[in-house]
Amino acid sequence: MYAIEVENLVKKYGDFEAVKGISFKVKRGEIFAFLGPNGAGKTTTVHVLTTLLKLTSGKAIVAGHDVVKEPMEVRKRIGIVFQDPSLDRELTAYENMYIHGRIYGLGGNELKNKIEELLKFVELWEFRNKPVKYFSGGMQRRLEIARALLHEPEVLFLDEPTIGLDPQTRAHIWEYIKSMKEEHNMTIFLTTHYMDEAEQLADRIAIMDHGKIIAEGTAEELKKLVGNDVIYLKLEAPEDLKCLKAEFIRGCKLLSDGRVRLEVVNAAEALPKIFDLAKERNVKIVEVTYHRPTLNDVFLYLTGREIRDEEETNTLASMIRMRMRR
């Protein structure tokens, strides 16, 4: 059973094609991530799937209902945390939750208990009577997550859930997302431009660039597109230097600095075997380093660009320009 099914989805703004015919499926209970740079079309896709934008052509089924034909049915079954804030800043955390619950048809003690449970879950219960405008970015995000969970959605959309947050807060929010999946078996559709976020959270990842999905799979599968893990070994006695032979070793090279470079499919699994082999042959290893391809390597391999640095170099360039103008 699929929670989201998308076929050939196209979204145009006038002449500009933001999403150029993408297709994918998300299984129930899965965390699925869209990974890609800003402007790749991730948010546009989320807005189409959450019925906020009309698609130009193609088909999208969310929680069993067509987003074009039955938007109301879809809206009942989804929760969303938008990329930009969407809270009422003048109202308190509790009031924001209360209004959301009422609009989604909850009420009475059921609603009260649910609000308390969720505000405690995101650790905001003690701040419940504070207007949201006094909240930090991280607190606002947590409140938005709690709010999105209030009506127990089947599918939860998180659009760049940790953008602009400090590393500690990000890790914190990742914990919430993981426990949501575990405790409620919720389907989560996530967009991000942080590779570590996609890797930490997602069961499957679609890499998106310029309105297209350019690769899809688990993080491991995607990394295999780039190649093998690489292990470097330094041995105690250089005269022992020769290539280890075993079926799991895909490639071996003796380096001029006296190290051995091994290519394996999965370094984590291969390393213990290598130690065993070395012991058998009485070779002493003094140093091990290994390098695994990152999702950034995957993006680089597929597009020839780094995933994140576009905006960073841009801001740097504009900062330099501003300095020079003075």
In the complex with other proteins, the residue whose CB is nearer, 86 or 113, is: 86
138: closest CA among 182, 88, 176? 176
**CA 128 from centroid of its chain's CA atoms:** 29
Smallest gap from residue 74 Cβ to other proteins (A): 8
Smallest gap from residue 183 Cβ to other proteins (A): 24
Q: H helices then E strands: how many in the chain?
A: 11, 14
In the complex with other proteins, the residue whose CB is nearer, 89 or 279, is: 89
**CA 139 from centroid of its chain's CA atoms:** 20
Q: Under DSSP, is residue 131 helix (H, G, I), strand (E, B) or coil?
A: strand
In the complex with other proteins, the residue whose CB is nearer, 16 or 280, is: 16
Angle at 167 between CA 166 and CA 168, to 5 degrees: 95
Q: Which residue has the tokens 């990329």?
A: 83
Locate 221 and state its tokens: 């599968």
Smallest gap from residue 70 Cβ to other proteins (A): 11
Q: Are residues 205 and 198 in contact, defined by beta-carbon separation less than 8 angstroms? A: yes
Smallest gap from residue 12 Cβ to other proteins (A): 13
In the complex with other proteins, the residue whose CB is nearer, 30 or 144, is: 144
Smallest gap from residue 27 Cβ to other proteins (A): 23
In whole angstroms, give the CA distance from residue 260 to residue 255: 6
Spatial CB neighbours of 2, under 8 Å, sequence gap ≥ 6: 25, 26, 27, 28, 61
In the complex with other proteins, the residue whose CB is nearer, 100 or 181, is: 100
Neighbours of 192 (CB within 10 A): 24
In the complex with other proteins, the residue whose CB is nearer, 129 or 282, is: 129
Please provide the DSSP assignment of 108-126 as one string.
HHHHHHHHHHHHHHTT-GG
In the complex with other proteins, the residue whose CB is nearer, 58 or 131, is: 131
Smallest gap from residue 47 Cβ to other proteins (A): 7
Smallest gap from residue 249 Cβ to other proteins (A): 52
Q: Provide the binding-site residues for other proteins, judged by CB under 8 A.
A: 47, 50-54, 72, 75-76, 78, 80, 82, 84-91, 95, 99-100, 102-105, 131
